[in-house]
Amino acid sequence: MTAHPSAAWPIPVGVAPDVLAQIQAEFARDWQRLMDDARQGQLAAPTDRRFAGDAWRASAQHLLMAHAYLLSAKAMERMVDAADVSDALRARLRFSVMQWVDAIAPSNFLALNPEAQQSIVASAGKALDVGMSNLISDLRKGRISQTDESQFEIGVNVATSPGQVVYENKLFQLIQYAPGTAKVHERPLVIVPPNINKFYILDLQPANSFVRHAVDAGLTVFMVSWRNPMAGDEDGTDQATWSDYLDEAVLKALAVASEITGQDQVNALGFCVGGTMLASALALAEARGEKPVAALTLLTALLDFRDTGVLDVFVDETHALLRDRQLGGGGLMSGRELATTFSFLRPNELVWNYVVGNYLKGQTPPAFDLLFWNADGTNLPGPFFSWYFRNTYLENNLKVPGRCTAAGQPLDLTRLSMPAYIYGSREDHIVPWPSAYASTQLLRGQRRFVLGASGHIAGVINPPAKQRRSYWAVGEEAGGDDYLPGDPAAWFERATEHAGSWWPDWLAWLAPHGGHLVKAPARQGSKAYPPLEPAPGRYVKVRAM
């Protein structure tokens, strides 16, 4: 009889004895069943894809090890769920246990992974040599390679939509894209992407470019391309504040686009953190009595930070104080640290999968434009980051009228009355869709909420030609929702699922706010804002070191 490890378990603090006894009893029963199946040669291959390969199924010892690991992981997760602690502490425990459990999976170790061993034997040792080479290369980079980055070059086969940089300052460049149609809507669209990533997630390649789709629909598109501040910059970018970004970047981009096109108002779109910045900048403009935007689009953006999903595990006063002291007076929040944090939100998919493939099996990850973009992070000015972390994620001040200020003005998001299209992704782990929906309760104009399938990025980048995924909506395409209750679950019960991309729905909504169709401009920029260089410009090509 093989002993099971429950006999040596310490009693976890905070788990009721009867619940712990039940977990142990179920573990013992499942362990005994596992041993019986192993002795009879009846172990089935686990459904977990880490252990689903032929090499695992062909080795009884490795198969038993995989099942024992999964059984132990399940027991640990149950103990976390049963712990008598606050919800916030439980979430942190769950996250910590996930990191530890995922890290010690037998698939992550050469001595325990039969697939990796098989690849070395089959390649006569070449896989081991390539794996070591991949490891050394990634150590030099300071990050794990998730794609074959040699296959992509910014401005050559990603970020290729034609256009011109028509304005720049120390925080951003503004790109005006060439028209895709003979006539365009007279009111332009200004896109504010997140400054924690590069803008070209919205302009990857022609087939999946949001920018290309928009210009082909008759829109004049302007794109904010954020400066990637670097250590050693002498122009004070590492001192930039939240207020600087609103006043000197977002509102400046809107003003330049307005002047170039001769329109009193523009339409504007903010993605993720870019949406938070855009809405805040519009609140600043509203406080000054200005209304630069006719229609607002927010994609997977947070205005109400009450529920930030898995990111809550990083948010507390101690962390905020640390960032205030480290960065509040200047310096940089490194892109590497931000990228590592987001990767470990899904460690099996974004970390250990590549450790096994790149290093243990000596494989080169396939070329994938989205993962090339994902590895191309940006640094953030310290004062900007520390203000943002405290006032949004920690204290949720932005949604409270007047609690936050910028350029000496109180910000009140509830005074924004322009029509708004608000999009969330149903499986988004960074901006949970009910939190994206919460913006409908803050804004005061005609609002339309649309929920797309998939996650934070894949849900947004869903070109119609692919005919993939679906979206949910209430009401007619060109109008706002007639039904926006406070409870997002109640909205979802009434929503109708539609096959395919949400992009056509958004274009139909935006069209009435675009003004008349006029002859497309022959060139980008104007006499006051002549072209400075071709798109995608210099700023986007600077990589965080």
**Mind spelling out the 3-state secondary structure of 105-165?**
CHHHCHHHCHHHHHHHHHCCCHHHHHHHHHHHHHHHHCCCCCCCHHHCCECCCECCCCEEE
Pairing, β 420-425 against β 447-452: parallel
Instruction: Return the structure tokens found at 407.
Output: 């350029």
User: Which residues fall within 8 angstroms of residue 513, CB to CB, at 6 or more apart?
Assistant: 187, 267, 294, 295, 419
Look up residue 221 and give its two tokens.
């598109």
ω into 536 cis (within 30 of 0): yes
CA atoms within 13 A on the CB side of 34: 23
Residue 495 contacts residue 474 (beta carbons within 8 Å):
yes
Tokens 């970390």 correspond to what residue? 351
Going by C-beta distance under 8 Å and a sequence separation of 6 or more, which residues neighbour residue 150? Answer: none
Helix (H, G, I), strand (E, B) or coil at 53: coil
- Partnered with residue 270 across adjacent β-strands are 192, 298
> Helices 251-261 and 273-287 meet at what angle, rounded to 10?
80
Distance CA 510, CA 477 (A): 10
Could you give the C-alpha distances from 382 to 43, 118, 237, 330, in angstroms and in order? 53, 48, 9, 5
- DSSP SS3 for 220: coil
What is the maximum alpha-carbon separation in the chain? 86
Query: Which residues are paired to 256 by β-bridges?
Result: none
Task: Quote the tokens at residue 242.
Answer: 């939240």
Q: Which residues lie across from 185 on neighbouring strands?
A: 517
CA angle 511, 514, 519 (to 5 degrees): 110
- Rounded to the nearest 10°, the torsion over CA 354, 360, 362, 364 is 0
Nearest to 360 by CA among 143, 129, 145, 144: 129
From CA 421, how far away is CA 475, in angstroms rounded? 13
Q: Which residue type occupies 426?
A: R
Q: What is residue 61's three-state secondary structure?
A: helix
| Rounded distance between C-alpha atoms, residue 389 and residue 395, angstroms | 9
Q: Which of 189, 272, 404, 443 is catalytic?
A: 272
Is residue 272 flagged as an active site residue?
Answer: yes
Could you list the active site residues? 272
